[in-house]
Amino acid sequence: MTNSKLQYNRNAFYYLKDGKVIACNTLSQEYYELEEDYFRRLLTASNNNSHPLPNDNINKELLEGGLLLEDKSEPSISWEGDPISFFCHQGTRILSQYTPKLSDEEVCSDFISLSSSSAKEIPARYIPEYSERIPLQEPNLDYFNDSSLYNAAKNRKTCRNFENKSVKIDLLNSLLYFCFGPIHGKLWEDFEQYNIPSYGLRRSSPSATGLQGCDAYLVALNVEGLEKGIYYYSSDEHYLYRLKNTLDDESLIYTTNDQFWAKNLSAGIFIVNDMRRTWVKDKKARGYLAAYLEAGHISQTILLAATALKLQTWLTGTFRDDVVDNLLQIKGSPCFASVFVGLGYGDNGSIPKKFIETIR
Ligand SMILES: Cc1cc2nc3c(=O)[nH]c(=O)nc-3n(C[C@H](O)[C@H](O)[C@H](O)COP(=O)(O)O)c2cc1C
């Protein structure tokens, strides 16, 4: 007997591990170890010109695992991105068919067990090798009262023409504390009030896990009161840790994929995600996606806060990741940079002058 109505599941991808083919159905997020016969059957199913598939046990099991689908199954979405982006997208979806509805009581008990079980596992902040610890002065949060939210949002623009002008450490110190420091205090008040163990941290931006998985690495290029270099900002202590590496305009431009408009920035902040803080609560692809979202929220807070300080800003999510890893001394760690926010003084023009000259 044959079955011509089966098609292979386009939402599944395959990889090799310990001499075996592993199939991952990105939608159900289930993994299967495939014997060769099973993998061959899928190869045949993927070939449009192949003969109808035999109706045997292999088909039955592949159907049960969702790697083969009945013809009447939902069509695959049309996707213009490349295959990697397709599997990333599918792998980050949460579908109702795989998430049974929970009662309020079940939701509460999940919440409590997740918050208390994560307590023991919260990793200490990752601090790269450093040469010096530098205490910072008290931040001046009054600076942020000088501008309305409306003005900060209206004046925030991407600037791509910076002037060689220094920024005062006092401004950066206040900016770092405002965006990464515990501005609400170190205790989470309502958790304390109800005696619920609290392992989270509050900052001026929300955090996907509540554990604040992002850290700031300050790049000082032209800062009054601070030597040129790269500094890890310890938000708990309000200290800078000077890394062994340093950088200048030219290396920053190379790092950011030849975006020459990074020239003349006074400073910048790399937002670095520590995946260990995400993994405490979520090891799946959606957690990875949320780590990027978390960095995105912080970057917007930095942009608005820096604008309130009358700084001009430029942000990029494009850089040579391996170069950044080396520069920030996070290579081989579970940390990665997701966003760079450049800070300085310029003409607030969004088109680099060189572009305009080239067009002329
Ligand atoms: C996630 C993200 C990544 C970005 N990456 C770059 C980049 O690599 N290079 C760049 O020059 N601008 C980058 N930008 C800035 C955008 O080009 C800019 O925000 C957009 O043109 C709108 O202009 P505006 O910021 O002045 O409103 C990025 C913005 C975001 C939100």
Per the domain annotation, does 118 fall within a domain?
A: no
Examine the domain organization and report whether 348 and 239 are in the same domain: yes
Closest CA to 8 of 94, 71, 98: 71
Whether residue 108 lies inside any domain: the answer is no
Strands (E), 42-198: 53-54, 68-70, 130-135, 162-163, 167-168
Instruction: Assess whether pLDDT exceeds 70 at residue 189.
Output: yes
pLDDT of residue 226: 98
- DSSP secondary-structure letter at 170? H
Phi-psi region of 156 (alpha: psi -120 to 50; beta: other; left: phi over 0): beta
Other Cβ atoms less than 10 A from the Cβ of 128: the count is 18
CA angle 232/233/238 to nearest 5° reads: 145
83 and 198 part of one domain: no
Give me the residues paired with residue 33 across strands: 22
Atom of ligand 1 nearest to the CA of 261: 11
* pLDDT reading at 75 higher than 80: no
Residue 77: per-residue pLDDT: 76
Q: Judging by beta carbons within 10 Å of its beta carbon (0-12, 13-18, 19+), is residue 195 exposed, middle or buried?
A: exposed
Give me ligand 1 centre to Cα 93, in Å: 26
Report if residue 110 sits inside a domain. Answer: no
Q: Please report whether residue 88 resides in a domain.
A: yes
From the CB of 257, is ligand 1 less than 6 Å away? no
Query: Same structural domain for residues 82 and 183?
Result: no
pLDDT for position 53: 83
Q: Is residue 182 part of a domain?
A: yes
- What is the pTM (predicted TM-score) of this model? 0.94
Residue 337 Cβ < 6 Å to ligand 1: no
Q: 97-106, 189-198, 258-267, 274-283: which has the minimum mean pLDDT? A: 189-198
Contacting residues for 266 by C-beta, under 8 A, at least 6 apart: 162, 165, 166, 167, 221, 222, 223, 311, 343, 344, 345
Position 120 scores a pLDDT of 65
pLDDT score recorded for residue 15 = 96
What is the distance between the alpha carbons of residues 171 and 168, in angstroms, rounded to a whole number?
Answer: 6
In this prediction, residue 191 has a pLDDT band, given cuts at 50, 70 and 90, of confident
Helix and strand numbers, DSSP H then E, in the chain: 12, 17
User: Is residue 269 a contact partner of residue 261, using CB atoms and an 8 Å limit?
Assistant: no
- The model's pLDDT over 107-157, given as tens digits with 9 standing for 90+, comes to 998 887 776 666 667 899 999 999 999 999 999 999 999 999 999 999 999
Structure-token match 């929300």, residue found: 206
* Mean model confidence pLDDT for the chain: 93
pLDDT band at 2 (very low <50, low <70, confident <90, very high): low
Q: Whose CA is nearest to atom 9 of ligand 1?
A: 316
pLDDT score at 121: 79
Which of 158, 271, 314 to mutate to test ligand 1, by most ligand atoms within 8 A of the CB atom?
Answer: 158
Find the 338 Cα to ligand 1 centroid distance in Å: 13
Q: State if residue 350 touches ligand 1 by the CB under 6 angstroms criterion.
A: yes
Q: Is the CB of 259 under 6 A from ligand 1?
A: yes
pLDDT at 255 over 60: yes
Q: Which amino acid is at 342?
A: G
What is the reported pLDDT for 74? 67
Residue 286: pLDDT over 90: yes
Q: Identify the residue whose tokens are 């995105």.
A: 296
Q: Out of 98, 131, 166, pick the residue that ends a domain.
A: 98
The CB of 318 under 6 Å from ligand 1? The reply is yes
Q: How far is CA 200 from CA 189, 209, 228, in A?
A: 11, 8, 33
Q: Which residue, by CA, sits nearest to atom 25 of ligand 1?
A: 158
| Number of CB atoms found within 10 A of residue 56's CB | 13
Whether residue 24 is predicted with pLDDT greater than 90 in this model: the reply is: yes
Q: Could you list the residue range(s) of the whole structural domain that residue 298 is in?
A: 123-359
Q: What is the per-residue pLDDT for 3?
A: 56
Looking at the structure, tell me whether residues 60 and 197 fall in a common domain.
no
Mutate to test the pocket of ligand 1, among 159, 263, 300, 315 (most ligand atoms within 8 A of CB): 315
How far, in Å, CA of 68 to CA of 9, rounded?
A: 5
Cα–Cα distance between 220 and 231 in angstroms, integer? 8
The answer on 147 and 48 residing in a single domain is no
Residue 116 confidence (pLDDT): 67
What's the pLDDT score for residue 235? 96
- Nearest residue (by CA) to ligand 1, atom 27, is 157
Q: Is residue 224 within a helix (H) or strand (E), and if so which, with residue range?
A: strand 223-224
Nearest CA residue ID for atom 12, ligand 1 = 316
Number of domains in the chain: 2
What's the pLDDT at 275?
A: 97
Interatomic CA distance for residues 136 and 285, integer angstroms = 37
The response to whether residue 157 sits with its C-beta less than 6 Å from ligand 1 reads yes
Residue 41 CA from chain centroid, whole number: 38
Q: Which of 98, 132, 147 is the last residue of a domain?
A: 98
Handedness of CA 129, 132, 135, 139 (dihedral sign): negative
Q: How far is the CA of 295 from the centre of ligand 1 (A)?
A: 14
What are the φ/ψ torsions at residue 298 (nearest 5 degrees)?
-65, -40
pLDDT at 97: 87
Rounded Cα distance between 272 and 309, Å, is: 23
Q: Is the pLDDT of residue 99 over 80?
A: yes
The whole-number average pLDDT for the span 50-62 is 88
In this structure, what CATH number is given to the domain that contains residue 18? 3.90.930
Q: Is the CB of 47 under 6 A from ligand 1?
A: no
272 and 299 in contact (C-beta within 8 Å)? Answer: no
Query: How many angstroms separate the CA atoms of 179 and 200, rounded?
Result: 16
Q: Is residue 201 one of the residues assigned to a domain?
A: yes
Q: Which atom of ligand 1 is nearest to the CA of 296?
A: 1
Q: List the structure tokens of 302.
A: 């930095």
Predicted confidence at residue 5, as pLDDT, reads 75
Q: Phi, psi (5° rounding) for residue 47?
A: -95, 110
